[in-house]
Structure 1
Amino acid sequence: MKQVAKLGLTLALICAVAALGLAAVYAKTKPIIDKRAEEDLLNAAREVIPGASAIEQQELDGTRYWIGKKGSELAGAAMQVEAQGYGSEPIQMMVGVDTDGTVTDVKIVAMSETPGIGTRVKDEAFLSRFRGNSDPAGVDGISGATVSSGAVKGGVSKALSFLSAIVAPGGELVIDLAAVPDGTYEGTGKGLFGPIKISVTVKDGKITEVKVLEHSETQGIADMAINGVPKSMIEKQTLDVDAVSGATFTSEGIINAVKDALMPFAVRKDEASGPVDITKLPDGTYEGSGKGLFGPIKVSVTMQGGKITDIKVLEHKETAGISDPAFTYVPKDIIEKQTLDVDTVSGATFTSEGVIEAVKNALQGSK
């Protein structure tokens, strides 16, 4: 018995020493591994921003991206995105965007697609189709690998949408429901406890149904968002709806999942639905959001007898005092002239443009 106890104690000591040794090795090698991973990302970003002499890492709303500069001039930007293809793991890609809102290059970083079929998305013949392109959704897919190539197209669209707003505001991608073909599409967004998978049905340029297919959110708490957000999207015919109080992360996950589903059909902001014909819009009060300098600007617009009769700024994150003239004079100007083609307020340009965009989105949703 004593011999058995002695052997047990010896084994325990050996295991403890081994565990300490592994912990020491991990502690020593992890910084090296992390540094190498960061270097790989930096090199990938450098590859997709041609002509950049310097690369700077930046972050916006928790999303990391890289800015490329040539001397003091902006050369473009890059970010890594992922999209689920046919394989077990998402396709990871680094996407570069030029200052004119076009794709500079795409580099596949990692994937688990079917060898010889899905892996063709890494071929130069396919990736070259994106260069100089401002409409990734219009790029031809790969015959026999439609899921894999579609995932890459969706990933490039996401990156172009995000980066264009930073380096080429005129080239920002937006989802124009009028440009989405009839059909049912699936997308994924990040919830509080994991991915949220949805399906969205579009018919005649309108959202007719949004279903939450899979999620890992807390039952009961998340139900308000799972029921309320889709209902709000259908009623208001816009993706820019409010999050449900108490279930913010779930709400944002659903909203982003719907955007993910429809992103392959996104168009350049300056190519979205043309001018709104105010005289043909039905009576009612409609809400819409636009992008201000420090966040979204939400407005309500009242239509009566083919005329805009009232515009109210409901929510914003702009600087008090500086933005006030835009909130006062832009709505007043729109109502007086009965057009959205009004001047911005000097010193509050971004706020003015955000108000105008919000009014336009509100009226487009009323059609």
Structure 2
Amino acid sequence: MSKDSTAYKAVLLAILCAVCGLLLSGVNALTAPVIAKNQLATVMASLEQIYPGGEFEEVEFDDPSGLIQGVYKSPGNGTIYKIHNVGYNSNGFTFMVAFNEDGTVGGFLPIEHNETDGFGARCFQDDYTATINGLTSSDPVPLLSGATLTSTAIQQGIDAAKALFNADAGISYDPNAVAEPSAPEAPKFSFSDDFSNTEPEAEEVSNDGTTAVYSTKAGGFSFLNEKGNKNEAEITLDVPSGTVKSVKITKFSDTPGIGDNATADSALKAYEGLKAGDSVDGVSGATFTSKSIAAMVRSALDKLAGGGTSAAETPAGTETAAVEKYAETEPEVEEVSNDGTTAVYRVRTGGFSFLNENGEKNEAEITVDVPSGTVKSITVDTFSDTAGIGDQATAEDYLQKFIGVDDPETVDSVSGATFTSNSIKSMIQSVLDKLKGNNAGTAEAAPAETEPVETASVTKYAETKPEAETVSNDGTTAKFRTKSGGFSFLNENGEKNEAEVEVDVPTGTVKSVKVTKFSDTPGIGDKATDDAWLSKFAGVSDPDEVDNVSGATFTSNSIKGMIQSALDQVKSGDISAPAASAPDQTAAAPAATPEPEATTAPETTAKDENKETASRFKETEPEVEEVSNDGTTAVYRIKTGGFSFLNEKGEKNEGEIEIDVPARTVKSVKITKFSDTAGIGDKATADDFLSKFAGKKDADDVDGVSGATFTSNSVKAMIQSSIDQTEAPAAALPNTEAGK
């Protein structure tokens, strides 16, 4: 056979392959035991925790579940199974379970896990592992209440191991048997524990040397896992003994149906009588909330022990304590009237919402008897604190207790409504202080010398900083565009309200009032924008002839300010009926008297009108992006601020607007992102409202949706900005290429 022949080369290659195979087989035979031994060594430490001093051999296995990672036999002891499965944490966990040769569980050993403390992690703690260690290969594995996902994953892994072990040992069992859930032991907390991760806060509300009350906060499940709010409670302590008298949850921020089990009266009673250093049982399945409550109690105890105000230092009811407490509420007082006998005040002070949540103040109208300096009546018309808690301090039976008093501290606060009680007391004290400051020398000045009602009215309207701009005046009817500040402008540095006021020029009386922009509080101030109330001004020459809307004083005064400013314009002669031109005396035939000029206001083009309309929406900060414009239809993607953006620093609303270019009218409106209040603002995103803009050239041709003013204006701003944007391209698009 020639060495160059194909047959020779094939035979040679076959021989070489056979030799290599033999060599590899020999190497494998030599190294396989070493590799197996090394692999076994990596788990040996864990295996020996289950069977100390035992010998171990890794064996082959066939696991249909795919959960078992290794099987290790220990002669004379049993078989150990290494298992990996996924519970609550997506990274999963690893553990070992062993069955003795008699079928009893020889051990349960967690290897690695990242399950949640207080929940899934409890499956790897002694209480639950002891339950598993007492089972046999025929017993079903129980689940752990409050850790269902993790314990189910453990159950699946052990079931896979049971199937292999019982098949190998010839043990028959029911693989579908179900065990009763294992009831976990309730968590236990000591007031010496570290609660720092709950970030507890405690503020002393009162301390008379016998009883101290604290407003407290601490994070529970929502705060620690979802970046939510803390739970809040009012803790009452017995000062001499330093023990807990009561715990009342004032705000619950965790999971309803789970965490609130720890807020039940029966659970909270467990804290009564406890002191610093004691322990308390939490509620099973509500570990996070239980810890939050324990942290709040601990923070109150620490506050008391660390120098809470003692009775000796500042007795309850002293002027110093009252003044400091009320200063925090930041009271604002406005005198409405004072005839020397009775004084009426509008007053605002902060309660729980203002002091703890950056919310609004409470508001009331308080009437005082001037000669005696005592309270005659209190009417709370704006309540901003927690419904069902703070409003106990606004109940008529509580407010009646202040009638006839000259010191609000003589009336006890409402239990559980401390913040609102202090807000009410602050209002009363502020009014009484205002009266004392204003009435020094009242006896010398007879009330008859002043006209308190007119003075108050003028002052009130000046504060609203009214503006009136003439739109038209034909000598019979003058139309004004007006603005004046209401609640938002005067108290929150917000926008003014706006209205269109028509005045009958010859009589100087109101013909009609239409509110075009409402900037105050929806659901409160907008009561003063209802047509039924506005129609009461028709025919009046003094807006004070119409009573304010109860509970909407600021907006009522804002409306009156606009009306008064329009009437003042007419009375001052700033707008006068233009004189008709005299007939031409030189003409052969008498000439007809020319029509009076249509308006004394400066002429405006359509472009000017649109700019003025758009400026009305400037606070929405519109952003316009042209998507396409073929000279016939222009499409815009646009963003404008609504309630969320203007009041909560949230996101803008977004929409897509189609404009008919030649006509500069709306073709369609589509809201693509809604960022305002669900159930309120979204009324202005409904198709039946949006369809009203079709064919319109001015967004203000469509009335806003009642109760959804901010979102309505946001939508109008989108539309008006799109119309304004269309004007330039429409004139400069001779062909479709220009629009590309």
TM bin, normalised by shorter chain, reads 0.3 to 0.5
Which structure would you say has the larger Rg? 2
Relative contact order, CA 8 A, sep 6+: which one is greater?
1
